[in-house]
């Protein structure tokens, strides 16, 4: 690409000319995911069969609220909150989302999510507080092993998928991964790894998410690895001052989502997330959707006024995107 806003190019090839769809699926995509594991995100724990217990259930103003104890295996049990339409005649599409502030906090105040509006439009929302999966502090003993935080949070999405496939009220073909900021990084990684996710919304995911490691705007690889050393593995730190030597950039991870729908959402004042770089990378990944016969109209970008936040306006955009699936 000649016009790479927010990126110090050139970019590595997602695939070489002449690659077939079968070669992408069987060779190139697995090769890229292996590189991302080894050189950036680190390993993920083995999956275990989901075990869930309903704690309680109650009708709210516009939706049904169900609290669940989900046993994830190696990371222990987590509190999962599910909201559903009060009336449904068939399984409903579902947002699987990680949150920052705890499930109860999402119903009021500045962190409130649009549960009632989602239910009115026929959507469920399942959410877990991210630190129940893995602590967001470098001192955690978890990070003395081969695991790192973004990879563990992404693994949590897949355990939510395991659970969702056992819930008859949820449409197993329309599970949508959603996360904001550092959780947007985990969202994109989960979407790249787990093809059971029907669509992916990494919101304002920045460096280590949909923004380029070779970025010229916003947070650098060196800065993110210094301030948050537990997010990515030690191999990624070796590229702090030589990102041009990485054999991939995040357009390769975006391409691993193809041919499924994806929405990159950002805000005009959030230059730290390098939205120019994100959108350039999505354009660079688009040939993979073409190769696989994906619907290019569902490879989307959204920009709103404002700052780094998850707002009702964002939820309106998420729901409009999801209604097209």
Per-residue pLDDT tens over the stretch 191-245: 999 999 999 999 999 999 999 999 999 999 999 999 999 999 999 999 999 999 9
Each residue's pLDDT expressed in tens, for the chain with a length of 325 residues: 446 899 998 999 999 999 999 999 999 999 999 999 999 999 999 998 889 999 999 999 999 999 999 999 888 899 999 999 999 999 999 999 999 999 999 999 989 999 999 999 999 999 999 999 999 999 999 999 899 999 999 999 999 999 999 999 999 999 999 999 999 999 999 999 999 999 999 999 999 999 999 999 999 999 999 999 999 999 999 999 999 999 999 999 999 999 999 999 999 999 999 999 999 999 999 999 999 999 999 999 999 999 999 999 999 999 999 999 9
Q: Residue 225: CB partners within 8 Å, gap ≥ 6?
A: 231, 232, 236, 237, 240
Q: For 252-310, give the DSSP string.
A: HHHHTTTTS-EEEEEETT-GGG-HHHHHHHHHHHHHHHHHHT--GGGEEEEEESS-SS-
User: Quick one: pLDDT at residue 49?
Assistant: 86
Q: Are 206 and 219 in contact (CB under 8 A)?
A: yes
Q: At what angle do helices 29-36 and 182-193 cross, to 10 degrees?
A: 140
CATH 3.40.50.1820 fits 21-322, yes or no: yes
- The C-alpha atoms of residue 306 and residue 17 are separated, in whole angstroms, by 40
Phi-psi region at 62: left, alpha or beta (left = phi > 0; alpha = psi -120 to 50): left
Write down the pLDDT at residue 266. 98
- pLDDT tens-place string over residues 254-274: 999 999 999 999 999 999 999
By CB atoms closer than 10 A (0-12, 13-18, 19+), residue 177 is: buried
Alpha helix (H) ranges present in the chain? 21-23, 29-36, 115-120, 130-133, 149-164, 182-193, 221-227, 234-237, 250-255, 275-292, 312-322
Compute the distance between CA of residue 139 and CA of residue 251 in angstroms, rounded to an integer. Answer: 31
Q: Tell me, what's the pLDDT at 156?
A: 97
pTM score: 0.98
The catalytic residues are 181, 308
């Amino acid at each position: 690409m000649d016009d790479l806003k927010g990126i110090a190019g050139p970019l590595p090839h997602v695939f070489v000319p002449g690659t077939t769809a079968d070669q992408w699926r069987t060779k190139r995509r697995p090769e890229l995911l292996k590189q991302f594991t080894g050189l950036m995100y680190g390993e993920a724990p083995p999956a275990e069969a989901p075990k869930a217990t309903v704690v309680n259930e109650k009708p709210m103003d516009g939706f049904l609220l169900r609290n669940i104890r989900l046993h994830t295996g190696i990371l222990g049990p987590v509190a999962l909150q599910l909201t559903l339409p009060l009336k449904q005649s068939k399984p409903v599409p579902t947002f699987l989302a990680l949150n920052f502030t705890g499930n109860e906090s999402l119903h009021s105040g500045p962190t409130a999510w649009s549960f009632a509006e989602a239910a009115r439009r026929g959507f469920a929302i399942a959410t877990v507080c991210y630190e129940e999966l893995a602590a967001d502090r470098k001192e955690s003993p978890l990070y003395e092993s081969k695991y790192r935080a973004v990879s563990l949070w992404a693994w949590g999405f897949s355990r939510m998928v395991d659970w969702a496939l056992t819930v008859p009220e949820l449409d197993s073909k329309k599970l949508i991964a959603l996360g904001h900021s550092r959780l947007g990084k985990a969202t994109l990684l989960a979407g790249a790894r787990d093809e059971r996710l029907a669509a992916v919304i990494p919101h304002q995911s920045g460096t280590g998410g949909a923004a380029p490691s070779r970025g010229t705007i916003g947070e650098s690889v060196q800065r993110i690895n210094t301030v948050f050393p537990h997010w990515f593995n030690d191999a990624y730190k070796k590229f702090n001052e030589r990102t041009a030597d990485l054999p991939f950039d995040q357009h390769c991870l975006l391409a691993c989502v193809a041919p499924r729908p994806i929405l990159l959402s950002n805000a005009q004042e959030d230059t730290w997330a390098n939205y120019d770089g994100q959108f350039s990378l999505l354009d660079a990944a688009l040939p993979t959707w073409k190769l696989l016969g994906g619907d290019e109209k569902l490879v989307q970008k959204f920009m709103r006024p404002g700052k780094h936040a998850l707002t009702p306006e964002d939820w309106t955009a998420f729901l409009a995107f999801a209604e097209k699936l």
